[in-house]
Amino acid sequence: MSLRGVKIVGVGHYAPERVVTNADFERWLDTSDEWITTRTGMKRRHWVANGEATSDLALRAAQAALEFAGMDAADVDCFIVATVTPDYAFPATACLVAARLGAKDRAAFDLSIACSGFIYGLTVASGLIRSGIYRRIMLIGAETLSKILDPADRATAILFGDGAGAVILEAAETDSFLGAELGADGSKPELLYVRAGGSRHRIDRAALDAKEDLIHMHGREVFKFAVHKMIAATDAALARAQLTKADVTLLIPHQANKRIIDAAARYLEMPDHKVVVNIAEYGNTSAASIPIALSESVRAGKIADGEVIVFVGFGGGLSWGAVAWRWAA
Ligand code: ACO
């Protein structure tokens, strides 16, 4: 029996308890529920409490995925956490999560490509399984973006939320991985970045005063890039899978802005009921947004055996990617 395919056998998600509504921002920012709703589609987002970190959210999502799959952490060969808000610069958050789950001596690493993290992770993890290197991989997208937000910047503070989503991938006879397209353009990092805290710019007094340890974004440029790349990446992934738009049953896009999702869905001729949108509840949770949406959809019984899903995302880098995936129950 050849096990050179891959399928998803477990899904889980978690968002912190504290909810911040659009109305909450009105108390300290020159903004309104009306502006945020019409320009982004967001209503609420979840933010961690003091003392809560990314691995805490990742752990809860991973536990839910293990429970869903009826597995123990010891059954998993490799742990990957896609995040740009790790607990520490190092060790990798995946090491912490694996240890807290009680998995001993397993492979564990983080993947840092911002909001494209889950798409890149799904491609890497599928490759590791389809090549026979590992049998089971836990892939988690987890972020605490509230920790790197400037609460006084109305253009970014309202956009981001915290959360985690996890999938367990397993070797299988039939293959769910149909095709992928990944890309990046690092020529303009400043379009969406945290300037200080790496090896180029230290976090010192001046950096803190300039808020360089926090997210900076050129929203309009990112918006245009996002619509273009969501469409191009989806087309390319479908071409590699030798499928057409008409074959797609469900679009699970990165949840950055409802208007970006709508523009991409229009081009792809996907009616509303074929597009998963939960942005009103979570805001943009970066690498966590797609696995949270997938976990919610699977748990709500919205995905049937054999259906074709396109996962598509974009983010800091700038980076983008799409994966065409046949759901196997
Ligand atoms: N409330 C009220 N007004 C606001 C707010 C706010 N929260 N934010 C911005 N404005 C104002 C601006 O100051 C501007 O005012 P001005 O015309 O007087 O200068 C006006 O609204 C319009 O600003 P724009 O930036 O043109 O607004 P836009 O319609 O582009 O929406 C937004 C801004 C929501 C940020 C949009 O550009 C967007 O979603 N961009 C993409 C962001 C994104 O996808 N990021 C993904 C990151 S993924 C990752 O890797 C982390």
Q: Tell me which H or E stretch contains 314.
A: strand 308-315
State whether the Cα torsion 266-272-277-278 is positive or negative: positive
Please report, for the chain, how many H helices and E strands are present, in that order.
11, 13
How far is CA 44 from its chain centroid? 17
What percent of the chain has a predicted confidence (pLDDT) above 70? 99
**Alpha-carbon distance 219 to 88, whole Å?**
28
SS3 (DSSP) at 216: strand
Residue 192 is given by DSSP the state E
Copy the structure tokens of residue 244: 């057409």
Phi, psi dihedral angles at 165 (to 5 degrees): -135, 145
Annotated catalytic, 13?
no
CA distances from 94 to 56, 124, 261, 287 (A): 11, 15, 30, 14
CB atoms within 10 A of CB 220: 10
Pocket around ligand 1 at a 6 A CB cut-off: 31, 35-36, 39-40, 114-115, 154-155, 158, 192, 219-220, 222-223, 226, 256-257, 260, 284, 286, 315-316
- C-alpha separations of 55 from 48, 80, 279 in Å: 12, 12, 22
Neighbours of 80 (CB within 10 A): 29
Which of 46, 78, 95, 115 is the catalytic position?
115
Please, what are the domains in the chain? 5-175 (3.40.47.10), 178-326 (3.40.47.10)
Q: What is residue 63's predicted lDDT score, i.e. its pLDDT?
A: 98
**For a substitution probing ligand 1, which of 25, 36, 39 has the most ligand atoms within 8 Å of its CB?**
39
> What pLDDT does 1 receive?
54
Question: What does pLDDT average to over the chain?
Answer: 96
Residue of the CA atom closest to atom 7 of ligand 1: 154
Secondary structure class of 8 (helix, strand, coil) = strand
Stretch 296-308: mean pLDDT: 97
Helix axes 258-267, 33-40, angle to 10 degrees: 20
pLDDT of 2: 66
Tell me how far apart the alpha carbons of residues 327 and 329 are, in angstroms, rounded to a whole number.
6
Q: In the predicted model, what is the mean pLDDT of residues 309-317? A: 97
Which residues on adjacent β-strands are paired with residue 51? none
Over residues 58-113, the pLDDT tens digits come to: 999 999 999 999 999 999 999 999 999 999 999 999 999 999 999 999 999 999 99
136-144 β-sheet, strand order: 5-14, 162-172, 136-144, 78-82, 107-111
Cβ pair 167, 291 in contact under 8 A: yes
Q: What is the mean pLDDT of residues 182-210?
A: 95
- What DSSP character marks residue 284? B
- So what's the pLDDT on residue 225? 95
Residue 102 one-letter amino acid:
G
Structure letter (DSSP) for residue 13:
E
Amino acid at 277: V
Of 101, 8, 102, 106, the residue nearest 61 (C-alpha): 101
CA 201, CA 199: separation in Å to the nearest integer?
6
pLDDT of residue 188: 95
How far apart, in whole angstroms, are the C-alpha atoms of residue 291 and residue 261? 16
**DSSP alpha helices (H): ranges in 165-218?**
205-209
DSSP conformation letters of 65-99: HHHHHT--GGG-SEEEEE-SS-SSSSS-HHHHHHH
Tens-place pLDDT, residues 40-56: 999 999 999 999 999 99
